Copies of this chain bind each other. A is one copy, B any other.
Amino acid sequence: MAVKRNGTQGKRSQRISVSLQSVQEPLSEPPLSLERIVATAVELLDAQGVDGLTMRRLADRLGSGVMSLYWHVDNKEEVFDLALDSVLEYRGPPQMVESQDWRGEVVHMLDDWRASMLRHPWSASLLPRRALGPNILGRLELLSKTLSRAGVADTDLNVAIWSLWNYVMGATITRGSFDLSDDDRAAAQQRLTSERYPTIERSRLLLDSDWDGAFRKGLDFLLDGLAPG
């Protein structure tokens, strides 16, 4: 507790100590920009979840005052919209050639979509409540084009797209939330052992499920029906 060394901290310290100043802060921040704001928001969301994103905390991480954010952004909602869309960029399948294997392409697109969201567990539950950004629309466009090229009639196209969208969204949201809350699952399983839910207790529905396998199987069945041949 050498008191002397305090002097080396310089003119800035006025109270106890700048306890939150972390090491990785480069001490001279790059200027604020929309890109930095969005990237930092994603970091914060990854680390702390939806409730962890706060304009004040965000500004802290960026080394700026809270209100500085509002020059780049209208409000907190917009931060959510931008963070969400930034996480859903699609780089496309390995080779861009006109593939014959439309079904493989569709599966790849939806797998990638799901994987992107599972990498950022806050994103899936957020998406349905937010505006559709350019990356999301881009994915929908590509999916439409592929199905259309595969021979799905125009009259069936919207049904096909929404069925697939619904399925992917549901699977990802559920999967993500089950990963998050081990406590809740344990608690639920407790409640199961009461006599009232024999069937799902026997099948160990809440414990043993093979999420990835279930996702692929259900998707296959949907595709069988939506675009036969």
- Majority secondary structure, A binding face: helix
Q: How far is the CB of A165 from chain B (nearest CB, A)?
A: 7
Query: A192 on the interface (CB 8 Å rule)?
Result: yes
Residues in B neighbouring A166, C-beta threshold 8 A: 167, 170-171, 174, 215, 218
Count chain B CB atoms within 10 A of each CB in A163, A191, A192, A224 and give the residue with the most. Answer: A163
Judging by beta carbons under 8 Å apart, are B144 and A213 in contact? no
CB < 8 Å: which of B168, B187, B202, B208 contacts A170?
B168
Count chain B CB atoms within 10 A of each CB in A168, A169, A196, A221 and give the residue with the most. Answer: A221
> 1/0 per residue A186-222: CB within 8 Å of B?
0110011000111110111110111101110110111
Judging by beta carbons under 8 Å apart, are A210 and B157 in contact? no
Q: How far is the CB of A90 from chain B (nearest CB, A)?
A: 13
How many chain-A residues does the 8 Å CB contact rule pick out? 63
- In the bound complex, CA of A166 to CA of B212 (Å): 13
> Which single residue of chain B is at the shortest CB-CB distance from A167?
B167
For this complex, 27 residue pairs linking A to B, each with C-beta atoms less than 8 Å apart, are A125-B125, A125-B129, A128-B173, A128-B176, A131-B181, A131-B187, A132-B188, A137-B188, A137-B192, A137-B200, A148-B199, A154-B203, A157-B203, A158-B203, A158-B210, A159-B217, A161-B200, A162-B211, A162-B214, A163-B217, A165-B170, A166-B167, A166-B218, A167-B218, A169-B169, A169-B170, A221-B221
